[in-house]
Amino acid sequence: MKKCSHSTHHSLTELNITPLLDLAFVLLVIFIITTTPIVNDLDLSLPTASKHQKDPPRKANYITVQADGKLWINKASVNLAGLQGKLVELRLDDPDLSVIVRGDGKAKYSQIRAVLDACQQANVAKVDLATEAADAK
C-alpha cells in the first residue's frame, strides 16, 4: 500500500521562491535608501561666516493692580490716566513691547478691565495676565 500519492509527493518537492524574491527586493530597496552617499571625499575650502550675536531677551514690563486699586508699572506708582502715557512712552522705546498684568485676587474686575483698555489704547499688542498655579487638593 502506498503512503502518499504521486501528486502530493510532486507538490512537496517544488519550492515556491516568489515570496523570498519579494523579500529580497524589499530589503535591497531599503538598503539603497538608507545608505548615505559619501560627500566628504573632496578637499574643499568652504567660506567662513561671522558669528551672529544673540539678541538679548526682551524685558517684560509688569503692571500690578493691588486690591485697593493702586497701579504700579515696573515698580513705579502710576494712576490710570498716567498709565496710558507711560505705555505709549515704553512702546516708542520698544515697538515690540510686552506687558504682563498682575492683578490681586481681590481686585475688582473693572480695575483690570481699565488696565487692559489702557494697553489697547496705547497699541500694546502683547498683553498677558499673570496667574498662579492652583494647589492640588
Domain for residue 108, yes or no? yes
Domain for residue 36, yes or no? no
Number of separate domains in the chain? 1
Domain for residue 19, yes or no? no
Domain for residue 55, yes or no? no
pLDDT range class, residue 69, cuts 50, 70, 90: confident
User: Is 84 within 8 Å of 121 (Cβ atoms)?
Assistant: yes
DSSP conformation class of 112 = H
Domain for residue 35, yes or no? no
pTM of the complete model beyond 0.85:
no
User: Is 100 within 8 Å of 61 (Cβ atoms)?
Assistant: yes
Average pLDDT value for residue range 64-76? 89
Residue pLDDT, tens place only, 85-102: 999 998 888 888 889 998
39 or 121, which is more confident:
121
Average pLDDT value for residue range 13-28? 86
Domain for residue 49, yes or no? no
Q: Angle CA(24)–CA(26)–CA(28) in degrees, nearest 5? A: 70
